[in-house]
Structure 1
Amino acid sequence: MKGIVYEGPGTLIYREVPDVRPQRGEVKIRVRACGICGSDVHGYLGITGRRTAPMVMGHEFAGEIAELGEDVEGWKPGDRVSVYPVDFCGDCEMCKKGQVHLCLNKRAFGVLDVDGACAEYICVPAKCCFSISDTVSFSVGSLFEPLAVAYRSVQHAGELEGKTVLIVGAGTIGLLALACVKRKKAGRIILSDLSSHRLTVAGEMGADAVINPGCEDFKARILEETGGKGVDAAIEAVGAGPTVHQAMTALRFGGRAVWIGNNRPMIEVNMQEIVTRELSVQGSFLYGYDEFKVVSGMVNRGEIHPEPLISKTISLKEAPAYFEKLAKAPGDMIKVVVVN
């Protein structure tokens, strides 16, 4: 079968890779769609230490079951599925708490040295499969994973009905967070980003106001949009010093920030401002099994429509060139999906 192999920083090769066979409890999936995540691009550049060559990337994926391993029940060949991309043990301390995404023995597909889904086929535990409705495309099915990331962050923000919420960063996670915030009936949603195209998409997805801090006074606009009070909650979906600063300075007294961006290991923050204004900061990492189940249901029922995020669908053979584009000149692209 064909796959895209990461062979070192800046090197992805489209080539033949060993075929896979399902083991006990596994299913073999014909990969129909695999999203390219920002973490994949950073891994391709060799700057995160989260990809160990040689390996196949890809952890946002959907497809159809091609073959069943022994002892698999409840599935059949041809079933359409999206995949929770973490193989968890079920026995460790974290799994017993229900936090399988923090499993002490986990294997994450497409991370470190575990092959992912930028290939024609992949084998995964049947327990990691979630049905995709016939009305949902495989490309949208590949977005269940980033949607689960966004959903968890919004849950951390608490009760939002009638409140004003700022989302900093209109990339994939920020825009999916927008969709989740709307479901919680926020009173007003503000999106901040440097890309006018992404802000246009944010408006199409229901943002009440957009701010481009490269072209206008961010703090003045926040005060204008909130009657001088600041926002009740801010979701930071970039992970860099300037965007964290935006999220924190936009908060009203007693406001809450959820940090989901994960680009920089160290940033500077104004601790005195956090203390004297009694601000709260909550980190949000990945998603749990139950959260993946929730978002799959939301999309299957048509409660969230993430299609506007998909900027481009490409073939497996085209993927190496698009990794290069996303790393060096992404332009207006938000989510690129590899389809087979």
Structure 2
Amino acid sequence: MEVRLISLQAAHRIMEAIQFDPENRKLSLIKTPLPPEPKKNEVVIRVAYSGICGTDLHIVEGTYPCRKMPVILGHEFSGVVTSVGCDVTHLRQGDNVAVDPNSGCLTCDACHSGNYHHCSNGGVDKITGIYQDGGWAEFCLVPADQVHKLPKNISLQQAGLTEPLSCIAHGWDRITPIAVGSRILILGAGIIGNLWASILHLQGHRRVTVSEPQEARRNLLEKLETGFDIITPEELQTRRAKDSSWGVDLVIDCSGYAPAMEEALALINPGGTLCIFGVSSPKATMNVSPYLLYKNELKIVAVKVNPFSFPKALGWIDAMGSRYLDYEKLGIKAYSLSQYEEALQALKEGRIAKAMFKLEQ
């Protein structure tokens, strides 16, 4: 295996990648040199699966910050280690891995408190696939301490979802415990909404409603066979209008759409919680009534990325298996790098819940 991997890398003097030019807001399929040999604490990974995230769409639209120079996007990916730096001891050539794109400076108070996602001393500038070249490429150079070896029973395809699941794992820690029997509303049935629905179902929750405006996405969610109530935003408002006592204990926003979150506050039962999980545009705003928060003792909990939650995500993947992580059931479609325009269009039209670049041989 090691000989084969080394020969594969050596045979390719150049590689294909999808590069984003922030000045022109343009994606291009390029030929570019292979990553350099890893430094002592780095590894090179041959990418197997690399996802298109909603954040990537915001970057391409120019509504989310990234490196000011051209950059290879892709912060959700799995692959196979092809070479390791001399000080790397937990990984070997041939290991199947998933990559955590986030890190901190490791010297500031936030990092020392275990909150590297709040690091303001350079950690954000290290994000793989946003500020450093990422996984929309055949190979990627990454810091070894951000690479997690996969158990043998987790496939590279399943591991392509580790990063979004690690973010959900952090969100789960922020809002739990959630009593079984709670009434829960998910806003949005993209891949994040579908993964949240899967996790809730896995954990025994059944009184779940999902609100999604696009019919194609509602139909995709049906494939998960959770038995959850899947409705349109209009049906959600009608339900409240017909019964003023109807409400939920928890709202999980996966849309990033501020007006939907604002409306959802009025649907939360006393003592309930709004979890802001979807990433909004930095310019989006919402009006909140302090009196409503006081009167009903509502909580608003926001979730940012995935501090130290990759092991939890891998544990979930192990438990979820093919019952929940079947690409077809989740509405995930695989594309080659050369099909990136088709993939982006399918996402924008809602024909799929997620696009995944497949480079696995």
Alignment TM-score, normalising by the size of structure 1: 0.89
Specify the alignment match of 1:123 in structure 2: 141
**What is the aligned partner in structure 2 of residue 300 from structure 1?**
318
1:208 equivalenced with 2:228 (yes/no): yes
2:297 aligned with 1:278: yes
Q: How does 1:45-64 map to 2 (within 5 A)?
A: 45-64=61-80
Point out where structure 2 has 5 or more consecutive residues left out of the alignment. 1-14
Alpha-carbon shift at residue 162 of structure 1 (Å): 2.3
Give the AA of the match of 2:42: E
Task: Give deviations 1:275-319, integer Å, cap 9, x for gaps.
Answer: 322211111111111x11111122134457332224311111222
Conservation of the 8 A alpha-carbon contact between 1:219 and 1:250:
no
Aligned mate of 2:32, from 3, 8, 17: 17
The residue that corresponds to 1:6 in the other structure is 20
User: Structure 1 residue 270: deviation in Å?
Assistant: 3.6
User: Against the structure 1 CA distance between its residues 198 and 246, is the aligned structure 2 distance closer, same or farther, given a 3 Å change threshold?
Assistant: farther
The equivalent of 2:5 in structure 1 is none
Kindly indicate whether the alpha-carbon contact (under 8 Å) linking 2:239 and 2:246 is maintained by their aligned counterparts in 1: no
Task: Give, in whole Å, the separation in 2 of the partners of 1:207 and 1:155.
Answer: 25
* 1:139 has 2:157 as partner: yes
Residue range with higher mean Cα deviation, 61-70 or 299-308: 299-308
In structure 2, distance between residues paired with 1:204 and 1:223: 29
**Match 2:43 to one of 27, 30, 33:** 27
| 1:218 CA displacement | 2.5
Write the distance in 2 (CA, Å) between the matches of 1:306 and 1:218.
31
Q: CA deviation at 1:11?
A: 1.5
**Equivalents in 1 of 2:67, 2:241: separation in Å?**
39
- Partner amino acid, structure 2, of 1:152: H
Cα distance in 1 between the residues matched to 2:275 and 2:232 = 20
Q: CA deviation at 1:187?
A: 4.6
- CA 1:324–1:302 in 2, change beyond 3 Å: closer, same or farther? closer
Q: How do 1:71-150 and structure 2 match up within 5 A?
A: 71-103=87-119, 104-106=121-123, 107-112=126-131, 114-150=132-168
Compute the displacement of 1:195 (Å): 1.9
Specify the code of the residue in structure 1 equivalent to 2:18: I
Equivalent pair of 2:50/2:160 in contact (CA under 8 Å): yes
Is the Cα–Cα contact under 8 Å of residues 187 and 212 in structure 2 kept in the other structure?
yes
What residue number does 2:175 align with? 157
Alignment of 1:141-290 (within 5 A): 141-160=159-178, 161-205=180-224, 206-214=226-234, 216-220=235-239, 228-265=245-282, 266-271=284-289, 272-289=291-308
Q: CA RMSD, aligned part only?
A: 2.3
The question of whether the paired residues in 1 share the 8 Å contact of 2:64 and 2:281 is answered with: no
User: Does the aligned pair in 1 maintain the 2:206–2:227 contact within 8 Å?
Assistant: no
| Whole-Å separation in 2 of the counterparts to 1:213 and 1:139 | 33
Partners of 1:49 and 1:152 in 2: CA distance: 22
- 8 Å Cα contact 1:5-1:55 kept in structure 2: yes
Alignment of 1:322 onto 2:343: yes
Maintained 8 Å contact 1:58/1:117:
yes
Percent of aligned pairs with the same residue?
27
Letter of the structure 1 residue corresponding to residue 116 of structure 2: V
1:200 and 1:258 map into 2 onto residues whose CA distance is 25
* TM-score, L = length of structure 2: 0.85
- Give yes or no for the alignment of 1:335 onto 2:351: no
Q: Distance in 1 between matches of 2:307 and 2:242?
A: 36
Give the conservation status (yes or no) of the 8 Å contact 1:154–1:177.
Answer: no
Does the 8 Å contact 1:260/1:284 carry over to 2?
Answer: yes
Q: Matched residue of 1:17: which SS?
A: strand
1:262 and 1:302 map into 2 onto residues whose CA distance is 25
Sort the Cα spacing of 1:186 and 1:322 in 2 relative to 1 into closer, same or farther, 3 A: closer
CA shift for structure 1 position 258? 0.7
1:117-156 per-residue CA deviation (whole Å, 9 max, x = no partner) reads 1111111122212223444332321111111122222332
Aligned length: 333
CA distance in 2, matches of 1:222, 1:111: 43
Q: How far is 1:3 from its partner?
A: 1.1
> Which SS does the other structure have where 1:181 is aligned?
helix
Letter in 2 for 1:209: D
5+ residue gaps, structure 1: none
